[in-house]
């Protein structure tokens, strides 16, 4: 899911527009109709404002003005010109539509100069709004799980296991652990675990409402409050997605990786007490497991590891590669991945293989140095191979 996060933003900026969630069946007040009758049906439908028929929305009447007027007085006498700031174009994006609605109580929607709908607080109950919010919330949860794994060096899946088959990483446990990760909270824009917990619980409440076919109106009393919730949700999800894509913590984790021989873990390829390389330098270490820190099942990781071996053994008919199975692990050992130490590759070839297997980076080992090489270009500063 996280590799397609940009599609969620597209929902709010290019796909979902005001025309998709405004009220199309606009009830309009007849100019000659009496104030009392119009007030009754506006009360019945909880309408605060209604355009006047025959004016293409250029004139409107308010429920309050009808309430205090003589009941027989004609709507035409009580109507007012529609202010310019109460118009919105049908093609306006979901995101901009919510911002506009937050500053007004209602908006008339027009397309090619014609009135086609009205936008009010009640329209926030639209399935279009709920679909966008739920996509955001699910993406945020996946991203937070990924980040917690990176910052804590623990193998946490992007999604919880099915009920009864749990790996222990329930959403409640994830939230509790997140509140203790000060560096992560700071990077997300929260000054304390309590502030994050308060915001996260609010998002969980919204998610539960949406999952039960309810809407944001169950947690927002007006359009302004709804817009604030959406704005904060977009802020934190944007921060989460930004950190998932490019963050210092993941590179520091890569650079702190200890690489040991899979058959004889006492033989260290990189890290404390590293031994001389078994192959002529440079040696490249590549894994196929847990692509871009996405934690996969043990069986899937072993399948990918086997596929990488097969790929390397038939890599080129004119190139003889030497392979040694190795394990890359965090210093405390909580994160481990099996891979291959490979001799006989050029850097460009090694990077391409890492990219083919959806890895964020590979390792280049020389006699004295170890370098983490991102597969999307560039290289990190080389560090001592022997610590």
**Alpha-carbon distance 94 to 9, whole Å?**
10
Question: What is the model's pLDDT at position 75?
Answer: 92
Q: Which two tokens stand for residue 194?
A: 């309590």
Reported confidence tier of residue 317, pLDDT bands at 50, 70, 90: low
Q: Would you identify the CATH topology of the domain 17-122?
A: CBS-domain (3.10.580)
**Alpha-carbon distance 88 to 107, whole Å?**
6
Reported confidence tier of residue 284, pLDDT bands at 50, 70, 90: very high
**Alpha-carbon distance 65 to 80, whole Å?**
10
Pairing of strands 87-89, 106-111: parallel
- CA 144 to each of CA 150, 154, 166, 216, 243: distance values in angstroms, whole numbers, following the listed order: 10, 13, 18, 22, 10
| Cβ neighbourhood burial of 198 (10 Å; 0-12, 13-18, 19+) | exposed
Average pLDDT in the chain: 90
Residue spans of the domains in the chain: they are: 17-122, 127-246, 254-384
Q: Among 122-126, 171-175, 270-274, 322-326, which is the least confidently predicted range?
A: 171-175
Q: What is the average pLDDT across 337-344?
A: 96
Residue 158 near residue 146, CB atoms below 8 Å: yes
Q: Which two tokens stand for residue 4?
A: 């397609």
**Omega of the bond prior to 282 within 30 degrees of 0, cis?**
yes
**Higher-scoring residue by pLDDT: 354, 335:** 354
pLDDT greater than 60 at residue 360: yes
Q: What is the average pLDDT across 219-241?
A: 89
Question: What is the model's pLDDT at position 163?
Answer: 61
Supply φ then ψ for residue 220, to 5 degrees. Answer: -130, 135
| Cβ neighbourhood burial of 204 (10 Å; 0-12, 13-18, 19+) | middle
Question: What is the model's pLDDT at position 3?
Answer: 62
> Residues 31-62: pLDDT tens digits?
999 999 999 998 888 888 899 999 999 999 99
Helical H segments across 167-296, by residue range: 171-178, 182-188, 193-211, 223-245, 248-255
Residues 6+ apart with CB under 8 A from 214: none
**Alpha-carbon distance 239 to 251, whole Å?**
17
- Return the closest-CA partner of residue 105 out of 89, 121, 123: 121
**Alpha-carbon distance 4 to 6, whole Å?**
6
Q: What is the average pLDDT across 204-232?
A: 92
Question: What is the model's pLDDT at position 165?
Answer: 57
| Cβ neighbourhood burial of 318 (10 Å; 0-12, 13-18, 19+) | exposed
**Alpha-carbon distance 174 to 144, whole Å?**
8
Residue 208 near residue 214, CB atoms below 8 Å: no
Question: What is the model's pLDDT at position 274?
Answer: 94
Residues 6+ apart with CB under 8 A from 224: 102, 103
The DSSP H or E segment spanning 366 is none
């Amino acid at each position: 899911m996280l590799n397609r996060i940009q599609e969620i933003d597209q929902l709010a900026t290019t796909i979902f527009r005001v025309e998709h969630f405004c009220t199309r069946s606009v009830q309009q007040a007849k100019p000659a109709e009496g104030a009392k009758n119009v007030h009754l049906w506006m009360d019945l439908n909880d309408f605060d404002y209604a355009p006047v028929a025959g004016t293409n929305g250029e004139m409107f009447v308010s429920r309050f003005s009808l309430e205090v007027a003589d009941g027989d007085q004609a709507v035409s006498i009580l109507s007012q010109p529609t202010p310019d700031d109460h118009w919105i174009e049908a093609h306006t994006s979901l995101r901009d539509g919510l911002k506009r609605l937050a500053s007004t109580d209602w908006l008339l929607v027009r397309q090619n100069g014609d009135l086609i709908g009205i936008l009010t607080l009640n329209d926030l109950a639209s399935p279009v709004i709920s679909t966008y919010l739920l996509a955001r919330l699910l993406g945020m949860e996946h991203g937070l799980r990924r980040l917690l794994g990176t910052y804590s060096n623990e193998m946490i899946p992007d999604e919880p296991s099915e009920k009864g088959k749990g790996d222990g990483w329930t959403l409640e446990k994830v939230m509790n652990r997140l509140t203790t990760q000060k560096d992560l909270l700071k990077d997300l824009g929260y000054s304390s675990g309590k502030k994050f917990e308060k915001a996260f619980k609010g998002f969980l409440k919204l998610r539960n409402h949406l999952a039960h076919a309810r809407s944001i109106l169950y947690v927002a009393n007006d359009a302004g409050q709804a817009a604030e919730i959406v704005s904060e949700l977009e802020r934190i999800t944007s921060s989460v997605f930004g950190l998932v894509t490019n963050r210092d913590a993941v590179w520091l984790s890569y650079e702190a990786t200890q690489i040991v021989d899979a058959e004889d873990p006492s033989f260290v390829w990189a890290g404390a007490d590293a031994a001389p390389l078994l192959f002529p330098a440079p040696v490249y270490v590549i894994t196929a497991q847990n692509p871009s820190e996405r934690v996969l099942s043990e069986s899937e990781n072993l399948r990918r590891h086997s596929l990488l071996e097969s790929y390397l053994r038939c890599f080129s008919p004119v190139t003889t590669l030497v392979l040694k199975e190795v394990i890359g692990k965090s210093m405390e050992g909580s994160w481990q991945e099996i891979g291959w130490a490979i001799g006989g590759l050029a850097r460009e070839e090694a990077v391409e293989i890492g990219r083919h297997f959806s890895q964020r980076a590979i390792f280049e080992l020389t006699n004295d140095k170890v370098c983490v090489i991102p597969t999307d270009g560039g290289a990190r500063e080389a560090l001592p191979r022997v610590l």
